[in-house]
Amino acid sequence: MLRGYAIFVYLFLYAPIALIVLFSFNSGNNASDLQGFAVTWYIKAAGNTLMLGALKNSVIIATASAILATFMGTMAALALQNLRGPLRVLFDGLTYVAIMVPGIVIGIATLIALVTTFDVTNALIADLWPGEAPPKLGLGYGSIIAAHTLFAMALVIVIVRARIAGMDRALIEASADLYADPLATFRQVTLPQLAPGIIAGFLLSFTFSFDDFVIAFFVAGSQQTLPIYVFSSIRRGVTPEINAIGTAVMLFSLTALITAQVLLRRGKRPAQ
């Protein structure tokens, strides 16, 4: 019974995804009527200028937010590792709360915070600007990158701290015994051991930012990411082209996630 229940759960989760992949190769125009197999819709999607523009935006935003989240998350994980007592418990709780809070809450909160900040800042710029047309801050690339970085940084902290917990401390102590300074120890001993976790954190951060719709929808302004483009398109009806785009995005995300998982497994220290 348990085996049958497990099979049912997996079918419930992955059967709709399999159907999207199947119908992405439909030779007809109906997204739910399989009339034959062809790659026509993949070719059409590759020539869609609006989709390519949204894809470019998603890649730029995901790359920038992943780099920032990885750098700041790694530094935060190293700093939190030295905390003890109630302060460490507090920061641990805040880190996990950032992951557990629903995306719609993060999106609304970030939108309110950014709009309030922009109003105050634009008023100051208008007062200090010598010309007649002062620049104005607004929603766009920067707001999406900031929102994604804040969320993804929590993921990086959790991953890197797990790697730190499994790190061989004897190597660090041996480096100190050999009179290496802290910077040399970090560069030659600590960083190589943390590298699999850091790379995995980068890949997960990139994947989250690339796939995110909820947070980006609130703070994107006039910019359009690939998930926002797909959402706008399906409001006019689902087509095999949307299935093709969804399949390509899914394969890309799965590749990044599997790569991150492989790196995390390879980075684990063998049990003594």
pLDDT tens-digit map of 238-256: 778 888 888 888 888 888 7
Residue 11 domain flag? no
Helix then strand then coil, % of the chain, to nearest 5: 75, 0, 20
Q: Phi/psi zone of residue 269: left (φ > 0), alpha (ψ -120 to 50 degrees), beta?
A: beta
Rounded-to-integer distance, Cα 42 and Cα 48, Å: 10
Q: Does residue 241 belong to any structural domain of this protein?
A: yes
- Coil/strand/helix, residue 184: helix
Instruction: Evaluate whether residue 47 is within a structural domain.
Output: no
Residue 158 falls inside a structural domain:
yes
Q: Domain holding 154: CATH number?
A: 1.10.3720.10
Q: Residue 184's domain spans which residues?
A: 52-267
The pLDDT-based confidence of 271 (bands split at 50, 70, 90) is very low
State how many domains the chain has.
Answer: 1
Which is it for the CA torsion 20, 26, 32, 33, positive or negative?
negative
Give a yes or no: residue 34 inside a domain: no
What is the model's pLDDT at position 272? 44
Return the pLDDT at 267: 55
- Residue 177 has what pLDDT? 66
- Residue 19 falls within a domain, yes or no? no
Q: Report how far residue 202's alpha carbon sits from residue 199's, in angstroms, rounded to the nearest whole number.
A: 5
Q: What is the pLDDT of residues 128-149, one digit of tens each?
A: 887 777 888 888 888 899 889 9
Question: Would 193 be classed as within a structural domain?
Answer: yes
Answer whether 214's CB lies under 8 Å from 231's CB: no
